[in-house]
Amino acid sequence: MIDSFFNFGVPISDEFYMREEPLSFEEARRKELMIAQSLSKSLGLGINFGIVPEQVNDNSKNIKKKRNRNPTTSSTSENVKRTKNIVKNYGNAIAAFAISNIALPYLEPMIEQEDLKLNTFQQFVAERKDQITSIDAFRALLQESKDDSDIEIKCKRIFKQIGIVFVKYFAVNWIFSSKIKYRDDHLKYRGRMLRRIMNPHLFTYLKKKRK
């Protein structure tokens, strides 16, 4: 068992993640749509997940219509609530993955290439994991700074690479096996999170603000 692998309440077994070979990005995309479609069917939503919807969540059947509410304000508030923790959740999940045994086959060649000790990298991530509470904090773990030491630069390079691995091959299982809310939104922004991690200097926002 992985010790509270993603820190979302329920430990997840190694077998769950190793029951099949890592998926290609295209295969992962097809799998996530199949899972989302199954989730939609079980909830009786009747939605075609060829395109993941923005306005559906796991508790949609229990949402009651409220009267005397400005629809524009209500929609904006709901959108903010649905997406405000996506960056934090992805960042924490990547950090948990980076210090888990599951990541070792991917980490070892990265560690060797950077000529760094594994425990040095794991300690670097563990000390900063709880600080990932915003885009700025997450970006700071991905982007090198002129004030960084050689070890910090190497650790950031590895964290960036392992983050790409997680989003490509493990994020779908994480989304649908954890207790996070608004799974469809985490699924929808997976591709954008991948692009932000690959180009942290552009990681200043997750979604564009409406004018």
Count of residues in the chain? 211
Burial class (CB in 10 A: 0-12, 13-18, 19+), 94: buried
DSSP 144-190: --TT--HHHHHHHHHHHHHHHHHHHHTHHHHHHHS--S-HHHHHHTH
Nearest to 116 by CA among 106, 108, 126: 108
Nearest to 187 by CA among 175, 202, 199, 178: 175
**Under a CB-based contact definition with an 8 Å cutoff, are residues 152 and 143 in contact?**
no
The two three-digit tokens of residue 106, written as one number: 């991917």
**Percent of the chain whose predicted confidence (pLDDT) is above 70:** 62
**Under a CB-based contact definition with an 8 Å cutoff, are residues 88 and 206 in contact?**
no
* pLDDT score of 13: 42
Q: Which amino acid is at 13?
A: S
Nearest to 120 by CA among 85, 149, 82, 90: 149
Give the pTM: 0.64
Work out the mean pLDDT of the chain and round it to a whole number.
76
The two three-digit tokens of residue 181, written as one number: 């809310």
More confident residue, 116 or 49: 116
**Cα separation values, 130 from 52, 87, 184, 189, Å:** 30, 13, 25, 22
Tens digit of each residue's pLDDT (9 = 90 or more) over 30-74: 666 676 666 556 555 555 555 444 443 444 444 444 455 555 555
45 secondary structure, DSSP code: -
Tens digit of each residue's pLDDT (9 = 90 or more) over 17-31: 444 445 555 666 666
The two three-digit tokens of residue 197, written as one number: 């991690």
* pLDDT score of 58: 46
Name residue, tokens 């690959």: 198
